[in-house]
């Protein structure tokens, strides 16, 4: 099928019709987009920070149990029942998941900018 002929008359007629976007539309949208972007970035950095915090606590607890003094007296200040608690699986899954999400997000951003 051949291409339809472009109509100068139609172009002229349609071009005469001005758009009804406000004059400051571009500035307003850019401002809004950047504000939303900031919020999104904050939420990601908050999540990353929280993840790092959880990992840090996990490492400290694990280190305590692995290398801390084994005498019961030394741990008297610590509730002994706490030592018997195994690390809940959901915590491990959560931490690993968070790490994977962060890694994927980072890769996606890097790829998007390259």
Task: Give one DSSP letter per residue of 48-90, joined into a string.
Answer: HHHHHHHHHHHHHHHHHHHHS---TTTTTTS-HHHHHPPPPHH
**Size of site (CB under 8 A) for another protein:** 37
Residues 6-35 that bind another protein (CB under 8 A): 6-17, 19-22, 25-30, 32-34
| CA dist., res. 70 & res. 108, Å (int) | 45
Q: Which residue has the tokens 């149990």?
A: 65
- Which token pair is 107? 């890769």
Is residue 46 at the binding interface for another protein, with CB under 8 A as the rule? no
Is residue 105 at the binding interface for another protein, with CB under 8 A as the rule? no
Q: Which residue has the tokens 């608690």?
A: 85
Choice between 10 and 66, CB closer to another protein: 10
Is residue 64 at the binding interface for another protein, with CB under 8 A as the rule? no
- Which stretch, 1-9, 52-60, 75-83, 95-103, contacts another protein (CB under 8 A)? 1-9
Residues that bind another protein (CB under 8 A): 1-17, 19-22, 25-30, 32-34, 36-37, 108-109, 111-113
């Amino acid at each position: 099928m051949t291409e339809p002929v472009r109509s100068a008359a139609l172009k002229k007629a349609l071009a005469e019709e001005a758009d009804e976007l406000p004059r400051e539309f571009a500035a307003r949208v850019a401002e809004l987009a950047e504000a939303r972007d900031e919020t999104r970035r904050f939420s990601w950095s908050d999540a990353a920070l929280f993840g790092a915090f959880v990992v840090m606590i996990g490492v400290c607890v694990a280190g305590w149990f692995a290398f801390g003094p084994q005498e019961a007296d030394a741990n008297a200040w610590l509730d002994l029942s706490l030592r018997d608690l195994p690390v809940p699986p959901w915590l491990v899954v959560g931490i690993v998941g968070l790490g994977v999400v962060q890694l994927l997000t980072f890769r996606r951003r890097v790829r998007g900018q390259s």
